[in-house]
């Protein structure tokens, strides 16, 4: 069974929910059992997509993760 993670996003004029189905392939055991130093760019992109929506980070950190998403997308799929 596939799981869908709902992420709450603030767009300035209200909140919306986005589904994040690309997380289906990552189990908790996989996440814990693999050191970050061994992560690929795709792994970091998944992490960035999660972190950018974290309610525990400030505006500066959120901007960092947005920039990291752009950087990794361009690195993985150059135009």
* Residue 42, beta-bridge partner list: none
- Reported as a single tens digit per residue, the pLDDT across 4-27 is 444 444 445 444 444 444 445 667
What distance in Å separates the CA atoms of residue 40 and residue 25, rounded to the nearest whole number? 14
pLDDT above 50: residue 54: yes
Residue 72 is encoded by which pair of tokens?
Answer: 């990794």
- Residue spans of alpha helices (H) in the chain: 28-33, 41-51, 59-76
pTM above 0.75, yes or no: no
Return all residues near 61 (Cβ < 8 A) that are at least 6 apart.
51
* Residue 9, beta-bridge partner list: 16
């Amino acid at each position: 069974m596939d799981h869908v993670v709902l992420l709450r996003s603030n767009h300035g004029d209200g909140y919306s929910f986005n589904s994040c189905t690309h997380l289906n392939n990552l189990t908790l055991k996989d996440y814990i059992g693999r050191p970050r130093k061994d992560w690929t760019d795709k792994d970091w992109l998944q992490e960035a997509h999660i972190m950018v929506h974290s309610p525990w980070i400030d505006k500066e950190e959120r901007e960092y993760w947005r920039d990291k998403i752009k950087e990794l997308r361009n690195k993985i799929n150059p135009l």
